[in-house]
């Protein structure tokens, strides 16, 4: 049994914070490419894990591309099955009612689990697909509490639904890994999270993710998944997105002037292109993140503004080379480009730690702590402080008020990173205060 798996298309939307001229950046365009892949690979069915349609106000934008794709699938003998998510709980059933019968099967309407059985045209193997749809915009209880008994008839079952994995307080159908693991299914296919990937292996829990990323919060490679289902569930990602979001860190440590900072930015962008570029990509949208202790701290606004205002950098045919920086040149048909969506200055001032550490005031003590953390270990810290730092992550993760914190076991490296950042902030704040008081006194 061959399947194409996707979800969270949000038909009606397109990737944001990119130039208008980037082609094929809509979810409608990626849906058409997904249909191409399904037909080329002769899949038996396409499974869609919710939020196929963005919401009601996109009804008419979604209808045309959806119907066209479904018609192409049907003429190729491919079935399409979907569940509704929080965004399309009302729109999807309404849309389907206007489509030819059997163009799209919506499973589990109204939040009642429903099963269909597919038969492969390749080897006549069978597969149950057990689906559940959002009945309303929010659902606070796990849909798995009403999961029906799964038939033990030798035919594998795939569970298809939209929901939030391991976020107990979520209002979008909270699902616990432990309850998913208990169900005798061959795999779970989930929607809601736009960054795709396998979240568990026994049984596999797959979030296909959005095939086209929609905003800078959705980095990484996006596409659809091809799955082979027999006794096992084999799946692989087929990249399809025309846009990719990424973060590029530019270390400005030791950078003395803006010119050399700019050189580092260009080099970092080139490296990012070389690393991330792949066939089918039209635009790399970059969040630039300045780091490092630098004399330029506090003086990067102009460079940041230049980058945000920069014309899109268009790439020549030569992969990985930024050749020209031109704005929407009508004469070039190049559609490979890089743009900057955000610039974040996380540099810190370049203090003389040794000089500061000789003091006995708060600044002196902090400078001593900062030096003790220099080498990536907590060992040089006073024992009481060290023990506190090692204890705190567990306490935070265990406290109900911090539901977002899952990782109780921070590595020593990560702890040092946190401690360093906090010491730096305190030190920077105290020094800034001291300097401003100093200025007041002398003025
Ligand atoms: Mn959703």
Predicted TM-score (pTM) of this structure: 0.80
What count of other Cβ atoms lies within 10 Å of the Cβ of residue 115? 16
Using the mean position of ligand 1's atoms as its centre, give its distance from the Cα of residue 188 in Å: 16
Please give the helix or strand (H or E) that residue 391 lies within, else none.
helix 383-398
Using the mean position of ligand 1's atoms as its centre, give its distance from the Cα of residue 138 in Å: 10
Using the mean position of ligand 1's atoms as its centre, give its distance from the Cα of residue 85 in Å: 5
Whether pLDDT at 313 is above 70: no
d(CA 134, CA 112): 9
Using the mean position of ligand 1's atoms as its centre, give its distance from the Cα of residue 193 in Å: 7
Using the mean position of ligand 1's atoms as its centre, give its distance from the Cα of residue 5 in Å: 16
What count of other Cβ atoms lies within 10 Å of the Cβ of residue 47? 27
Amino acid 437: pLDDT: 81
Whether pLDDT at 89 is above 90: yes
Amino acid 404: pLDDT: 62
Whether pLDDT at 156 is above 60: yes
Using the mean position of ligand 1's atoms as its centre, give its distance from the Cα of residue 132 in Å: 13
Amino acid 316: pLDDT: 52
Using the mean position of ligand 1's atoms as its centre, give its distance from the Cα of residue 162 in Å: 7
- The mean-pLDDT minimum among 296-305, 324-333, 352-361, 403-412 falls in 324-333
Amino acid 125: pLDDT: 96
Sequence-distant (6+) residues with CB within 8 A of 347 are 252, 290, 291, 292, 293, 294, 296, 297, 300
d(CA 141, CA 138): 9
Q: What angle do CA 271, 276, 282 make, to 5 degrees?
A: 110
* Residues 37 and 69: beta-carbon distance below 8 Å: no
Using the mean position of ligand 1's atoms as its centre, give its distance from the Cα of residue 28 in Å: 17
Whether pLDDT at 323 is above 50: no
Amino acid 241: pLDDT: 96
Whole-number average pLDDT of the chain: 89
Using the mean position of ligand 1's atoms as its centre, give its distance from the Cα of residue 50 in Å: 7
DSSP output for 402-439: -TT-------HHHHHHHHHHHHHHHHHHHHHHHHHHHH
First to last CA, the chain: 80
Using the mean position of ligand 1's atoms as its centre, give its distance from the Cα of residue 26 in Å: 18
Question: Of how many residues is the chain composed?
Answer: 443
Mean pLDDT of 38-46: 98
Structure-token pair, residue 266: 């260009």
Using the mean position of ligand 1's atoms as its centre, give its distance from the Cα of residue 136 in Å: 12
pLDDT band at 322 (very low <50, low <70, confident <90, very high): very low
pLDDT band at 303 (very low <50, low <70, confident <90, very high): confident
In sequence order, what are the beta bridge partners of 197? 207
Whether pLDDT at 325 is above 60: no
Using the mean position of ligand 1's atoms as its centre, give its distance from the Cα of residue 177 in Å: 18
**Between 399 and 73, where is the model more confident?**
73
**DSSP 8-state secondary structure symbol assigned to residue 102:** T
d(CA 158, CA 83): 13
* Residues 61 and 28: beta-carbon distance below 8 Å: yes
- The mean-pLDDT minimum among 54-68, 371-385, 401-415 falls in 401-415
% of the chain beyond a pLDDT of 70: 92
d(CA 384, CA 409): 19
Amino acid 401: pLDDT: 74
Using the mean position of ligand 1's atoms as its centre, give its distance from the Cα of residue 248 in Å: 28
d(CA 183, CA 8): 24
Amino acid 182: pLDDT: 96
pLDDT band at 270 (very low <50, low <70, confident <90, very high): confident
**Between 250 and 302, where is the model more confident?**
250
Question: How far lies 139's CA from each of 36, 111, 208, 401, 416, in Å?
Answer: 34, 9, 21, 21, 40
**Between 244 and 298, where is the model more confident?**
244
pLDDT band at 81 (very low <50, low <70, confident <90, very high): very high
**Between 266 and 82, where is the model more confident?**
82
Sequence-distant (6+) residues with CB within 8 A of 122 are 1, 2, 42, 44
Amino acid 443: pLDDT: 64
Mean pLDDT of 130-153: 96
Amino acid 407: pLDDT: 62
- In CATH, what class is 2-239? alpha beta
d(CA 70, CA 76): 10
Whether pLDDT at 160 is above 70: yes
- The mean-pLDDT minimum among 41-50, 185-194, 287-296 falls in 287-296
Sequence-distant (6+) residues with CB within 8 A of 139 are 86, 111, 163, 171, 172, 173
Structure-token pair, residue 412: 């020593």
Amino acid 4: pLDDT: 98
Amino acid 302: pLDDT: 86
Whether pLDDT at 178 is above 90: yes
Using the mean position of ligand 1's atoms as its centre, give its distance from the Cα of residue 49 in Å: 9
Using the mean position of ligand 1's atoms as its centre, give its distance from the Cα of residue 392 in Å: 33
pLDDT band at 326 (very low <50, low <70, confident <90, very high): very low
pLDDT tens profile 214-267 = 999 999 999 999 999 988 899 999 999 999 999 999 999 988 888 889 889 888
Question: 3-state class of 306 per DSSP?
Answer: helix
Q: Are strands 187-191 and 204-207 parallel, antiparallel or unpaired?
A: parallel
Whether pLDDT at 278 is above 60: yes
Whether pLDDT at 417 is above 70: yes
Amino acid 71: pLDDT: 96
118 Cα distance to chain centroid: 31
Amino acid 34: pLDDT: 98
Sequence-distant (6+) residues with CB within 8 A of 251 are 264, 291, 292
**Please, is 146 exposed, middle or buried when counting C-beta atoms within 10 Å of its C-beta (0-12, 13-18, 19+)?**
exposed
**Structural domain boundaries of the chain?**
2-239, 243-345, 353-442
pLDDT tens profile 330-375 = 444 555 788 888 999 989 888 888 999 999 999 999 999 999 998 8
Amino acid 329: pLDDT: 40
d(CA 433, CA 228): 63
């Amino acid at each position: 049994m061959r399947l194409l798996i996707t979800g969270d298309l949000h038909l009606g939307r397109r990737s944001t914070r990119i130039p208008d001229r980037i082609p094929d950046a809509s979810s409608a365009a990626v849906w058409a490419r997904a249909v191409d892949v399904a037909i080329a690979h002769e899949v038996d069915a396409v499974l869609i894990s919710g939020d196929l349609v963005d919401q009601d106000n996109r009804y008419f934008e979604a209808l045309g591309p959806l119907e066209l794709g479904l018609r192409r699938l049907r003429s190729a003998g491919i079935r399409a099955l979907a569940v509704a998510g929080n965004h399309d709980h009302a729109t999807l059933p309404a849309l389907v009612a206007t489509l030819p019968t059997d163009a799209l099967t919506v499973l589990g309407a109204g939040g009642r689990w429903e099963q269909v059985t597919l038969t492969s045209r390749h080897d006549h193997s069978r597969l149950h697909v057990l689906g559940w749809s959002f009945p309303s915009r929010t659902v606070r209880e796990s849909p798995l509490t009403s999961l029906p008994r799964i038939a033990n008839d030798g035919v594998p079952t795939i569970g298809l639904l939209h929901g939030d994995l391991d976020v107990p307080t979520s209002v979008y159908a909270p699902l616990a890994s432990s309850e998913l693991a208990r169900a005798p299914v061959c795999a779970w296919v989930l929607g809601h999270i736009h960054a795709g990937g396998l979240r568990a292996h026994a049984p596999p829990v797959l979030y296909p993710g959005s095939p086209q990323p929609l905003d800078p919060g959705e980095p990484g490679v996006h596409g659809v998944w091809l799955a082979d289902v027999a006794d096992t569930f084999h799946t692989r990602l087929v990249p399809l997105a025309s846009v990719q979001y990424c973060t590029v860190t530019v270390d400005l440590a030791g950078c003395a002037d803006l010119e050399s900072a700019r050189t580092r930015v260009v080099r970092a962008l080139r490296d990012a292109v070389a690393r991330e570029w792949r066939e089918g990509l039209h635009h790399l949208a970059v969040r630039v993140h300045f780091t490092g202790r630098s004399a330029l701290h506090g003086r990067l606004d102009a460079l940041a503004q230049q980058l945000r205002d920069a014309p899109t950098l268009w790439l020549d045919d030569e992969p990985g080379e930024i050749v020209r920086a031109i704005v929407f040149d009508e004469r070039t048909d190049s559609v490979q480009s890089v743009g900057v969506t955000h610039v974040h200055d996380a540099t810190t001032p370049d203090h003389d730690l040794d000089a500061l550490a000789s003091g006995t005031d708060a600044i002196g003590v902090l400078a001593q702590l900062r030096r003790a953390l220099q080498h990536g270990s907590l060992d040089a810290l006073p024992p009481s402080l060290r023990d506190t730092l090692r204890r705190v992550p567990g306490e935070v993760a265990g406290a109900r008020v911090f539901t977002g914190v899952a990782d109780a076991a921070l590595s020593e490296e990560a702890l040092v990173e946190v401690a360093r950042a906090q010491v730096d902030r305190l030190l920077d704040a105290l020094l800034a205060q001291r300097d401003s008081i100093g200025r007041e006194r002398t003025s």
